[in-house]
């Protein structure tokens, strides 16, 4: 049997658009000889749907889309397995099911309801869906297919360690006679996730001695970025097909697998560009604004935005005060010219002086933050006037320790590099020749007071990132990090800075997620705590 993955980019709540995407890919795959096509998890309604799933009429819209696809199967020669939200038919438990429908020739051949519902990290499926452990094995053209949905295959203890579940849906399907395992997924990406997902599929296939084909969606939905990278594995655990990375694809599971590159920085660049492009496209915006400071962070965001949206749709604004260096202004101008984006210089020193007087000349940190807030106000006002979204330019290291100003440099619709530690920002920026050499080498500075550098308030970024990696990614407490050899006073200081900045992060823009432990829904910490 010739099987194809329809690696598409659904939009949440766009039922007509998603059905059209599925149909176009389905027809193309059928023309290439596919007998059975797989569309991603919840492809009909998009993933994640969050509380949209609870709105009245939502299930009915899923059902109407299902009926369209089943009817189309009369004229399209290939069968289709696709994901959608369905009502839970039981009178107890959660009201909904994360489901999949297999259809052919105008008939529904099988309905699978997801068995394993992730409720960790960014996932909260148990909030909406009722699990169903019943194995689903359907006969299709003489072959018995074991139907699985995303998390249903995340059961390999050797790879995952402690498991969240006691069930083994792939093994249960094999016990029911499945000859082939099919998995439709909406598995979000973090650095290296596509390689790990392939190992997982290989492990399942090898353990159960059955081929396994996984179809994964691609594209950006809010903070989550989906890489596609669909994979097919034979019964011996050998990869026979790989889908494109962050791109639309028809993946036929009978061809030679093309190798994915091993370049994590390039992968993150692709992911962030897709995240920017899809956020704008799916919210209906085209133009972006950002503040250009002459520093490495804003220069990198300008490069990513220009690549994602086209330089004609990006405007960089530098807003100097008496504390801004000529070098920073010129570096801002140079990166804008090299990229071909619009550039403006707006001197805000007069506004700063007027507001400083109005506020009673508070001095110190309050006056520093006032400058940042004037810049935020300019950007947000221009955003309103021009229907352009503001891109925030803070990195993960700054967000972690609160080295940012609420209603100032934290303004915006999207925090593009908020999941990149500062040292990774430097590494990534080297990939863009448009960034002037001086921007790479000068000491980082907010330029809010004379001769200021970031290291006046923070440890050196290499040291800060190392400790943050232990505290945030490995979730070690301060005592454990100190025992590992880090300076005790420094660790305690950084841990305190992280914790007291939680209230700021609650008000931050959406952070594009490219790691396993991004700020946002995957890290939920109380604000009021000891």
Active site residues: 41, 114, 150
The alpha carbon dihedral of 508, 300, 290, 278 has a sign of negative
What are the phi and psi torsion angles at 466 (to 5°)? -65, -45
Tell me the C-alpha distance between 395 and 416, whole Å. 8
Q: Do residues 344 and 315 touch, judged by C-beta distance below 8 A?
A: yes
- Start-end of H helices in 178-255: 193-208
What are the phi and psi torsion angles at 270 (to 5°)? -60, -45
Tell me the C-alpha distance between 342 and 344, whole Å. 7
DSSP state of 312: G
Residue 151 to residues 165, 264, 445, 511, Cα–Cα distance (Å): 10, 24, 44, 24
Which of 395, 42, 38 lies closest to 226, judged by CA? 42
Element (H, E) at 99: strand 96-104
Tell me the pairing of strands 231-233 and 287-291: unpaired
For residue 385, with 0-12 CB atoms within 10 Å meaning exposed, 13-18 middle and 19 or more buried, which class applies? exposed
Q: Which two tokens stand for residue 101?
A: 């429908």
Tell me the C-alpha distance between 38 and 182, whole Å. 8
Residue whose token pair is 């490219």: 514
Which residues make Cβ contacts (< 8 Å) with residue 350, sequence separation at least 6? none
Q: Do residues 312 and 402 touch, judged by C-beta distance below 8 A?
A: no
Which of 448, 451, 466 lies closest to 400, judged by CA? 466
Which residues make Cβ contacts (< 8 Å) with residue 451, sequence separation at least 6? none
Q: Do residues 116 and 151 touch, judged by C-beta distance below 8 A?
A: yes
Q: Give, rounded to a whole angstrom, the gap between the first and last alpha carbons of the chain.
A: 60
């Amino acid at each position: 049997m010739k099987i194809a993955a329809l690696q598409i980019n659904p939009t949440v709540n766009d039922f007509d658009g998603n059905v059209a995407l599925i149909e176009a890919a389905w027809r193309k795959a059928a023309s290439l000889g596919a007998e059975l096509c797989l569309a991603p998890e919840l492809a009909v309604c998009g993933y994640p749907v969050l509380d949209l799933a609870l709105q009245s009429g939502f299930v009915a819209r899923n059902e109407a889309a299902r009926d369209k696809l089943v009817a189309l199967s009369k004229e399209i020669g290939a069968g289709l397995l696709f994901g959608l939200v369905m009502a839970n038919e039981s009178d107890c438990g959660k009201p909904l099911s994360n489901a999949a429908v297999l259809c052919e020739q105008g008939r529904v051949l099988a309905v699978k309801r997801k068995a394993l519902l992730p409720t960790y990290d960014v996932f909260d499926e148990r909030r909406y869906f009722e699990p169903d452990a019943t194995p689903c094995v359907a006969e299709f053209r003489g072959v018995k297919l074991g139907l699985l949905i995303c998390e249903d295959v995340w059961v390999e203890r050797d790879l995952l360690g402690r498991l969240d579940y006691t069930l083994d849906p792939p093994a249960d399907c094999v016990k029911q006679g499945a000859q082939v395992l099919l998995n439709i997924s909406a598995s979000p990406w973090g650095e290296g996730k596509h390689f790990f997902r392939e190992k997982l599929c290989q492990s399942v296939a090898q353990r159960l001695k059955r081929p396994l084909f996984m179809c994964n969606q691609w594209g950006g939905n809010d903070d989550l970025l989906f890489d596609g990278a669909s994979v097919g594995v034979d019964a011996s655990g050998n990869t026979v097909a790989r889908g494109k990375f962050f791109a639309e694809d028809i993946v036929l599971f009978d061809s030679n697998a093309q190798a994915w590159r091993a370049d994590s920085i390039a992968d993150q660049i692709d992911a962030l560009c897709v995240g920017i492009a899809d956020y704008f496209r799916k919210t209906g915006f085209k133009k972006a604004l950002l503040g250009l400071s002459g520093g490495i962070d804003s220069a990198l965001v300008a490069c990513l935005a220009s690549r994602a949206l086209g330089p004609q749709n990006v405007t960089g604004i530098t807003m100097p005060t008496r504390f801004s260096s000529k070098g920073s202004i010129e570096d801002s101008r140079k990166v804008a010219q090299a990229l071909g984006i619009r550039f403006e210089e707006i001197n805000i020193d007069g506004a700063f002086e007027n507001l400083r007087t109005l506020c009673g000349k508070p001095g110190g940190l309050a006056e520093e933050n006032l400058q940042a807030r004037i810049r935020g106000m300019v950007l947000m006002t221009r955003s309103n006037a021009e229907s352009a979204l503001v891109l925030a330019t803070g990195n993960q290291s700054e967000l972690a320790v609160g080295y940012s100003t609420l209603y100032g440099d934290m303004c915006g619709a999207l925090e593009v590099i908020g999941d990149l530690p500062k040292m990774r920002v430097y590494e990534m920026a080297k990939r863009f020749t448009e960034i002037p050499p001086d921007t790479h080498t000068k000491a980082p500075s907010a330029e809010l007071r004379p001769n200021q550098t970031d290291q006046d308030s923070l440890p050196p970024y290499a040291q800060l990132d190392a400790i943050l990696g232990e505290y945030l990614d490995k979730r070690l407490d301060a005592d454990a990090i100190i025992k590992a050899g880090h300076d005790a006073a420094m660790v305690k200081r950084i841990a305190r800075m992280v914790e007291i900045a939680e209230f700021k992060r609650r008000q931050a823009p959406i952070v594009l997620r490219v790691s396993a432990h991004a700020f946002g829904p995957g890290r939920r910490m109380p604000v009021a705590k000891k």
